[in-house]
Every structure is written in C-alpha cells, then in structure tokens.
Amino acid sequence: MTTDEGHGDLTALRGRPWFAANEVLAFVLELVAIGALAWWGFTAPEGSVASVALGIAAPAAAVVLWGLFAAPRARFTLPLAGVLAVKTVVLGGGAAAVYGAGHPTAAAVLAVVLVANTGCAEFFRQR
C-alpha cells in the first residue's frame, strides 16, 4: 500500500470498500484467534499452574509468530506459501482452540470464515 500525505495505509483503501472491509475482518479474526488460544489455555484441565502457563504461552507464541512472519510489516519476509503456512498455524490454532474448549460448531464456523477471509484477501491483493 502507498502512503499519501501522512495518512499511512488508509489512502490505499480509498475506493476499495470490499478490500477494506475484508482487511478489518482479518484483523478481528486475528484477535479472535489469539483470544481463543488464551481461552483454551486458561480452561485446560491440566491444573491451575499449567492452565495459566498455557493461557499465557499459547497466545504469546501466536503473537510472536505472527509478528515475525505474517504481519503486514513482518520482521522477516516470507514467500506467499510461508505466510499462508504461518496464518494456517495461528488462525487454524485459534479454530482448534475453540474446538478444544468444547464448541465444535463455533470452531467449524470460525474455520470457514477464516478460509473465506484469507482467500478474499489474497484475491484482492492480486488485483
């Protein structure tokens, strides 16, 4: 995306409402996945200390992985296949966490929305 008069990346979204809406949805889904990992970790039946450790470590690992390899301004640039692999691990991990927390229908819905959102994001970026 380009920068225009200090407006950052927002200028590139002007005139592309579907792209912008999909990018907002992508950000919300990233937050949902991180929250789901924390929820799963804190509710894990391994015991209070292990649950707290999982509740902190799982989302922290996801955030670090995302920031290093999948964020728009990632520290390391990967080819598309690598970025999609990281997104699969983090976002898929969020859906798996919802499933692991005992909500299979919500996990399936989340997984479908994640795949559709990621597919649309790549479609819009190709245009």
Residue 7, domain member (yes or no): no
CA distance 92 to 115: 9
Q: Which pLDDT value is given to residue 14? A: 56
Residue 1, domain member (yes or no): no
Its domain, for residue 106, covers: 16-126
Res 1 pLDDT > 50:
no
CA distance 89 to 65: 9
Q: In Å, how far from its chain's centre is CA 97?
A: 13
How far CA 21 is from CA of 12, 16, 17, 61, 89, in Å, comes to 13, 9, 6, 27, 23
Res 12 pLDDT > 60:
no
Provide the number of structural domains found in the chain.
1
pLDDT band, very low/low/confident/very high, at 33 (cuts 50, 70, 90): very high
Residue 110, domain member (yes or no): yes
- Tell me the whole-structure pTM to 2 decimals: 0.82
